[in-house]
Structure 1
């Protein structure tokens, strides 16, 4: 029994070390970009040897993928903490738009875009990247399904609407390099309003 508890503690310690390495390195990737960040930089900022870093991550790519996973999970957790503030599914869609805009200034986003567009990736890494991208999907679909169930939204296919919302959010995010956040927020809300014209159930 004692051996089992020691093993559980060891796993928790290893998991925490991985998170610490990733979070220490986040600022480095944000400042220098993915390509310009070297393993030497990563070792220095973590005060660890290369062997210690490689014990937890096989490569810089694996470390960065883990960091993207943490980043997406934190985005999701942050939304779940505030979701209760919105009463209806329509309100939640507008709230999600705001939440998405709030994250556009995340300093890691530029490095993520650089990584995704500039890497020659294996099928395994591509599958992992897709699974990370899909993290918000269940939340979008859940909100849409509840809206349909409550009669707020027309009885459309929730998955279709989820993909449309995801495309809207991701597509408008490119405006970050052209417009200020106030204008981008306005366009996100306008996008939701335009979409609702087609899917919102008009009350008698």
Structure 2
């Protein structure tokens, strides 16, 4: 009778340990970058043996992919906390632009860019990375669809509009390496205003 609850608890414990290992390692990757962080560094920061780390993650690559997943989930949770503060779809789209700019200061971003550009990508990893990229899609589509239903935005294919807005926000992240956050925020807002000029209901 007790086997099932114990097994459930064990699964929860394992899931929590994985999260703890990933979050403990986040600062390490942020400081040293992906390539320069060794499994020895990861073991030291977590006070665990290699065998213990490998029990939960097959490789450093798998650990980092899991960390990216947690990072994206944190990004979404932070947005959902903010979203209720915006009344209209247009306000929410500007809010999303600000949310992107706020996240540019995330210390893990440099390591993520290094990881993505420096890996030999297998089909399995590509599929996983695409699934992570798609995490915010439903939120974007929901905002856009509601904006169209309320007459704020012109009738269109919400998915097409979502991809265009996502492309704008993602593309502008490269400004982080050449401009300060105040100027980047201004450009994000200008980009959003230019886009809205084409999709906002007159």
**Structure 1-normalised TM-score?**
0.98
Tell me the residue number matched to 1:60.
Answer: 60
> For each residue in 1:163-196, what CA deviation from the matched residue of structure 2 results, as whole angstroms up to 9, or x when unmatched?
1111100111000000000000000011110000
Tell me the residue number matched to 2:2.
Answer: 2
2:84 aligned counterpart, secondary structure: helix
Tell me the residue number matched to 2:20.
Answer: 20
In 2: Cα distance, 1:172 partner to 1:23 partner: 27
In 2: Cα distance, 1:16 partner to 1:133 partner: 23
In 1: Cα distance, 2:75 partner to 2:9 partner: 27
Following TM superposition, where does structure 1 have runs of at least 4 consecutive aligned residues deviating by more than 6 angstroms?
none
Equivalences for 1:58-137 in 2 at 5 Å? 58-137=58-137
Gaps of 5+ in 1: none
The offset of 1:117, in angstroms, is 0.4
In 1: Cα distance, 2:150 partner to 2:182 partner: 32
Count of residues in correspondence between the two structures = 202
Gaps of 5+ in 2: none
**Structure 2-normalised TM-score?**
0.99
In 2: Cα distance, 1:201 partner to 1:170 partner: 25
In 2: Cα distance, 1:118 partner to 1:165 partner: 27
The offset of 1:199, in angstroms, is 0.3
> For each residue in 1:66-109, what CA deviation from the matched residue of structure 2 results, as whole angstroms up to 9, or x when unmatched?
00000000000110011000000000000000011000010000
Tell me the residue number matched to 2:178.
Answer: 178
In 2: Cα distance, 1:167 partner to 1:16 partner: 34
> For each residue in 1:15-49, what CA deviation from the matched residue of structure 2 results, as whole angstroms up to 9, or x when unmatched?
00000000000000000000000000000000000
2:183 aligned counterpart, secondary structure: helix
What's the C-alpha RMSD, in Å, of the aligned pairs?
Answer: 0.5
The offset of 1:122, in angstroms, is 1.1
Q: Does 1:30 align with 2:30?
A: yes
